[in-house]
Amino acid sequence: MEEIRQKLRAFIIENFLFGRSDEELHDDDSLIERGIIDSTGVLLLVCFLEQDLKLVVQDDEIVPGNLDSLDRLAAFASRKLGLEDYGTVSPAPLETVFTSDAEAV
Amino acid sequence: MMHSINVAEYLLDGKSENMVALRLPEADYSYGDLGAGAREFAAHMTNAGCTKGDRILLLGVNSFHWAAAYLGILQAEMVCVPLPGNLHAEELEYYVETTRPRAAYVDAQLLARYRSVLAVEGVTVCCEAPTCTNGWFQFAHLPAVQPSSAPLEEPAPIGLAALMFTSGSTGQPRGVMVSHRNIVANTNSIVDSLQLSERERMMAVLPFYYCFGASVLHTYLKVGAMLVIDNRFAYPEVVLERMDKTQCTSFAGVPSHYQILLRNSSLARKRLPHLRTLLQAGGHLASSFVQQLQQILPRTRIFIMYGQTEATARLACLPPEMLAAKPESIGKAIPGVRLRIVNESGEEAARGKIGEIVADGENVTLGYWRAPGETALVFRNGSLHTGDLATMDEDGFLYVIDRAKEFVKCGGTRISCRQIEDKLLECEELLEAAVIAVRDDLLGEAVRAFVVPRQGANHAVAERVRAFCKSNLSRIMIPRDIVVLDSLPKSSHGKVQRMKLRTLVADAPGDMCIEMAAADS
């Protein structure tokens, strides 16, 4: 789980903060509110989750509730991979957070 | 004594307190809440020692607190400086040095990032309060680590409402000085030309720190309508669903919003029965997209509009019923604005002849902040020289040709970059396209096309686009180079940054694909 979190952090810093190490990224920072992600970025992120972390992401799971911060990403990935540590993120209201799954990992 | 115009009063006076002004995902905020929040913010600033003409930075995404702080600053006759929330610290330093602010409103989440830049002696920093039991705002109490800036030599012009920073093609962003009078005049004109009413529900995705977004805020508040604020356009499906749920009647966007909605979302399969009005500005939207919008949303009225920050926001509008008769036109001047096409000799060009659009009206802004040289070049004799080339037809409709730099001189023939882009975008596989001129030993200049496919970037896309070009473009327009990208570099206003495209690839000819680092696994 920690390894996944590190991979996610590295990916975000590399692609949305342009590798700048002086840019702080807190685990609960909203990528939307930080203004560092656009729709191309979201597609890139999903691509990373599928290719690097081997998740199968359904269309209706592409929502801020699952993807908009390191915490949310880590929790989403953990749930998908069936890991114990789900983190402490509560689902955002008005959004689908997690669809029923049949994904093989 | 003449009562001077104040935008906050102009927007909020006479509104029914309980009417919803802003609908956010977490809550509704009424006109009463906006008024109370604005008064509270104004009082905070005054108590902190800020006075008329002092600059106050605004940093954050669209929100109730942003709007309340904005209106509070205007109410107190201070000068608002709205900025994007994704600035690097040194970019913010530039704005702090240039505007010498006395205070800043900052979204709590951004505070940690900008702490050191804002910790200037004498600068008060304010955030949204986590709960509104003691009021809407709280002070951040940053210990000052930098000495206070020396005071400015001359005070800000009287009646100045905001500094709206806009980037030119070279150099640092310039602050356009927008007055209360400018905003009121332009808001009245736009409300008139769009025939807005209080029954509207506008899906507001455009950032308020951008003049188009600000004009959406002004115009819909003025008529007492509702703005449904949503900052999640990075997830277009989420925004579409919200538009449906909240029964939005209107949407406003720049070309990339519409490109994404048409080619990378389920818009075509959605029923949005309440949607009646689409506003488009911020650049040219290719005809193929306009036609698609008309096909998918036959009951909406599409307003193609033209303007610039130097004109407060809007200058011209094409009435929806003229879309068929005058495709590619930006329409005519909105009420209160005069537009002329002026040739190099400074005379009005004959109909059909190319010249520069020169604008007059109460919406022409005061000039650039602390940049007298540039101001003198652009704002001559009280008129705004837009830098946009255009023609006017016999019926008085305007057609923007291209900015002077956006041509390719290929073997002696001048080809418009936009013409090639528009043609490329007829290829359904593509989301975006941008064309620039590059040096060519044989022809002087050649066409380099940057294309963004709807799905991922790869070499096969270049092959298919080249095949499309061969079948659909005249020989002289076929690009020498086709470069496939995951996205085009854009400014925070969503405009394609052509300067960045020029340096992206070395001069070697040929097709290539530049994939983002992450795709390499």
Full set of structural domains in chain A with CATH: 2-81 (1.10.1200.10)
**Better pLDDT: A55 or B88:** A55
Q: Which residues of B338-375 are buried (b: 16+ CB within 10 A; e: fewer)?
A: ebbbbeeeeeebeeeeebbbbbbbbbbbbbbbbbeeeb
Q: Tell me the average pLDDT across A66-86.
A: 87
Give the total residue count for chain A: 105
Alpha-carbon distance of B82 to B56, in angstroms, equals: 8
Element (H, E) at B413: strand B413-416
Short-list B443, B398, B393, B434, CA closest to B416? B434
Contact between B337 and B203 under an 8 Å Cβ cutoff? The reply is no
Provide the pLDDT for residue B402: 62
Q: Residue count of chain B, please give it.
A: 521
Our CA-based measurement puts residue B12 at a distance from the nearest CA of chain A, in whole angstroms, of: 27
Phi (first) and psi of residue B455, to 5 degrees: -95, -175
Torsion angle of C-alpha atoms B97, B103, B104, B105, degrees rounded to 10: -170
Quote the CA–CA distance of B27 and B397 in Å, as a whole number: 43
Q: Residues of A at the B interface (Cβ-Cβ below 8 Å)?
A: 11, 14-15, 20, 22-24, 26, 29-44, 47-48, 51-52, 59-60, 62-64, 93-95
* Range B180-403 classified under CATH 3.40.50.12780: yes
Look at the block and give the residue holding tokens 């959406």: B216
SS3 B435: strand
The tokens of B325 are what?
């008769």
Residue A104: pLDDT band by 50, 70, 90 thresholds?
very low
Measuring CA to CA, which residue among B252, B250, B229 is closest to residue B304? B252
Do domains B180-403 and B407-519 share one topology? The answer is no
Mutate to test the interface with B, among A7, A34, A39, A66 (most CBs of B within 10 A): A39
- CB-based contact A34 B110, cutoff 8 Å: yes
Q: Which CATH superfamily is domain B407-519 in?
A: ANL, C-terminal domain (3.30.300.30)
Q: What ipTM does this complex have?
A: 0.78
The H-assigned helical ranges of B223-268 are 236-245, 255-263
**Residue B515 Cα, gap to closest chain A Cα (Å):** 11
Residues in chain A within 8 Å Cβ distance of B89 = 22
Contacts of B235 in chain A (CB under 8 A): 39, 42, 62-64
Q: How far apart are CA B98 and CA B92, in angstroms?
A: 10
The model's pLDDT over B385-431, given as tens digits with 9 standing for 90+, comes to 998 889 999 999 999 986 555 777 776 677 788 889 989 999 999 99
A-B CB pairs within 8 A amount to 82
User: pLDDT at residue B193 above 80?
Assistant: yes
- The amino acid at residue B519 is A
Q: At CA B463, angle to CA B458 and CA B467, rounded to 5?
A: 145
Domain residue limits, chain B: 7-21+29-156, 180-403, 407-519
* Closest partner CB to A39 (pick from B84, B236, B519): B236
Put simply, the answer to whether B61 touches A26 (Cβ < 8 Å) is: no
Residue B100 β-bridge partners: none
Is residue A92 within 8 Å of residue A65, measured between CB atoms?
A: yes
Question: Which letter, b or e, does each residue of B4-32 get, where b requires 16 or more Cβ atoms within 10 Å of its Cβ?
Answer: ebbbbbbbbeebeeeebbbbebeeebbbe
Please give the model's pTM, rounded to 2 decimal places: 0.85
**Interchain pair B85, A30: CB under 8 A:** no
Contact across the interface for A30 and B109, Cβ inside 8 Å = yes
Mean pLDDT of B342-351: 90
Higher pLDDT, B31 or A2: B31
CB B184 within 8 A of CB B5: yes
More confident residue, B86 or B409: B86
Per-residue model confidence (pLDDT) at position B171 = 67
| Res. B189 pLDDT band, cuts 50 70 90 | very high
Q: What is the CA radius of gyration of chain B?
A: 23
The tokens describing B194, both together, are 């769009």
What is the CATH topology of the domain spanning B7-21+29-156?
Answer: Rossmann fold (3.40.50)
Q: What is the DSSP string of B54-112?
A: -EEEEESSS-HHHHHHHHHHHHTT-EEEEE-TT--HHHHHHHHHHH--SEEEE-HHHHH
Report, in this order, helix, strand and coil percent for chain B, each rounded to 5.
30, 30, 40
pLDDT for the residue numbered B415: 79
Compute the average pLDDT of residues B427-452.
Answer: 88
**Taking 80 as the threshold, does the pLDDT of residue A87 lie above it?**
no
Q: What is the mean pLDDT of residues B363-373?
A: 95
CA–centroid distance for B421 within its chain: 21
Give the integer Cα–Cα distance in Å for B298 and B423.
24
- Decide if A34 and B233 are in contact by the 8 Å CB cutoff: no
Give B-chain residues touching A14 at CB under 8 angstroms: 517-518
Q: What count of Cα atoms within 13 Å lies in the side-chain half-sphere of residue A94?
A: 13
